[in-house]
Amino acid sequence: MINSKDFFLALEQLEKEKKINREFFISALESALTSAYKKNFGEARSATVKLNPEKGTIKVLAYKTVVDEVEDPDKQISLEEAKQIKSSYQVGDIISEEVTPKSFGRIAAQTARQVVMQRLREAERDNLSAELNAKGDQLTTAIVRRKDANNVYVELSGTETEGVLGEKDIIPGEKLEIGDRIKVHIKRVRDNGFGAEVQVSRTTPAFVRKLFEIEVPELTNGEVEIKSIAREAGNRTKLSVYSADPNIDPVGACVGAHGARINAVIDELHGEKIDVVRYSDDVFEYIANALSPADVVSVELNNETKSSRVIVPDNKLSLAIGKEGCNVRLAARLTGWKIDVKSESSSEKEEQSKQVHEYTSIFDKDGADNEIDIFEDIETI
């Protein structure tokens, strides 16, 4: 028997710090120590390690089955030997005896440490994941604590937990300094090999959604709904909004008086452009709205390919397409439709060219006979 009161005191302290269930600790340690025992004293033995926190003891118990004839001494005991231990034993009974080696404490500490720490990391990750999932998809405040070449590490407010902002989770051009207080969106919790790691972001569409929910009460009370968001962080975001109440202007609610609400969001995004457009069940209207701030002359749809052809005024073509195609690309993602933007003049030229092509095709198809007939008709006249 090993008296390990200090060991259990450390275990109790760890339990309080990590907030991990006591029974889970005991189960993890018993499993790890049993593996350590078998590794050092024989895999064939049917043995298990039992921890008693109240008495502060660790015991190794070996189990043998009572048989008439012993074939495996590590797992079996003869009926004759068993009756010497207890006269009531019968064939088929299981006998346990303590076989704790004197050196087991050192061996257990060396061998089981890695297994135990792994189980603790898993428990910590699961607990943290459950805690964060209970909070739901939300925004939280964080303080920048440290940085390296690729990541920014923040302390999540109220959790004493470290969050990680990867390169793709930082708004392009954003300079974060130690001590800065920022808002972040919790993406996921994963095991990085050393424990639970919380990945947070400032570039997800959900980040913009949560910022608007903070500024626009109509979103939180359900009077206004965000139907879709498309975002290229640091450049532009489009969101479509809808209200079932005809007396509520969903776009106006999100923009706010004199742009106060939307400007608060833009400030948090360091000047990122935001287009709030009205959602419509009418696809023609929805696509036209999505290309805001450009005006749209007409929209043609191909339902089979879910693609559209949009005509805009000549002087609005560059606005509709946007810098490096950003505006039309986001409009397509927002609506779920492919969008091909054409100017009025280029559309007219294409139409004229198409008409000429159709006339030529008809003429070629009719052949030389038709040509002779035409001239014969002229001569007759």
Q: What is the pLDDT of residue 366?
A: 53
Query: Which helix or strand (DSSP H or E) is residue 338 part of?
Result: strand 338-343
In which band, very low, low, confident or very high, does the pLDDT at 265 lie, cut at 50, 70 and 90?
very high
Query: Which pLDDT does position 192 carry in this prediction?
Result: 63
Mean pLDDT on 344-372: 56
Summarised one tens digit per residue, pLDDT across range 104-126 is 667 666 665 676 677 777 776 67
Q: What confidence category does residue 23 fall into, taking pLDDT thresholds of 50, 70 and 90?
A: confident
pLDDT higher than threshold 60 for residue 224 = yes
Q: Which of 63-72, 157-166, 216-225, 346-355 has the highest mean pLDDT?
A: 216-225
For residue 226, pLDDT beyond 90:
yes
pLDDT in tens, 316-334: 999 999 999 999 999 999 9
- Per-residue pLDDT band for 37 (boundaries 50, 70, 90) equals confident
When pLDDT is averaged across residues 146-153 and rounded to a whole number, the result is 92
For 161, 167, 237, 270, the CA distances from 176, given in Å and listed in that order, are: 19, 12, 21, 12
Per cent of the chain over pLDDT 70 is 78
Q: What's the pLDDT score for residue 381?
A: 37
Neighbours of 214 (CB within 10 A): 15
Residue 353's pLDDT is 55
Between helix 260-268 and helix 205-215 the angle, nearest 10°, is: 140
Q: What is the pTM of this model?
A: 0.64
The neighbouring-strand residues paired with 300 are 309
| For residues 350-374, average pLDDT | 51
Q: Is the pLDDT of residue 19 over 70?
A: no
d(CA 92, CA 358): 95
Q: Is the distance from CB of 68 to CB of 77 less than 8 angstroms?
A: no
Spatial separation of the C-alpha atoms in residues 9 and 379, rounded to whole Å:
118
> pLDDT tens, 181-202?
999 998 887 666 565 678 899 9
Q: Can you give the pLDDT at residue 169? A: 95
pLDDT greater at residue 82 or residue 238: 238
Q: Reply yes or no on whether the pLDDT at 17 is more than 90.
A: no
Give the amino acid at 180.
Answer: D
On average, the pLDDT of the chain sits at 83
Tell me, what's the pLDDT at 309?
Answer: 95
Q: Is 70 exceeded by the pLDDT of residue 206?
A: yes
| 8-17, 135-144, 224-233: the lowest-pLDDT one | 8-17
pLDDT band, very low/low/confident/very high, at 351 (cuts 50, 70, 90): low
Predicted confidence at residue 281, as pLDDT, reads 96
Domains and CATH numbers, the chain: 2-131 (3.30.1480.10), 137-201 (2.40.50.140), 204-279 (3.30.300.20), 292-381 (3.30.300.20)
Q: What is the pLDDT of residue 378?
A: 38
Q: Which residue has the higher pLDDT, 124 or 248?
A: 248
Q: How confident is the model at residue 289 (pLDDT cuts 50, 70, 90)?
A: very high
Report the alpha-carbon distance of residue 183 to residue 214 in Å, rounded.
12
pLDDT for the residue numbered 146: 94
Average pLDDT for 236-256:
97
- Mean pLDDT for 88-113 is 78
User: What three-state secondary structure class fits 190?
Assistant: strand
pLDDT grade for 355, boundaries at 50, 70 and 90: low
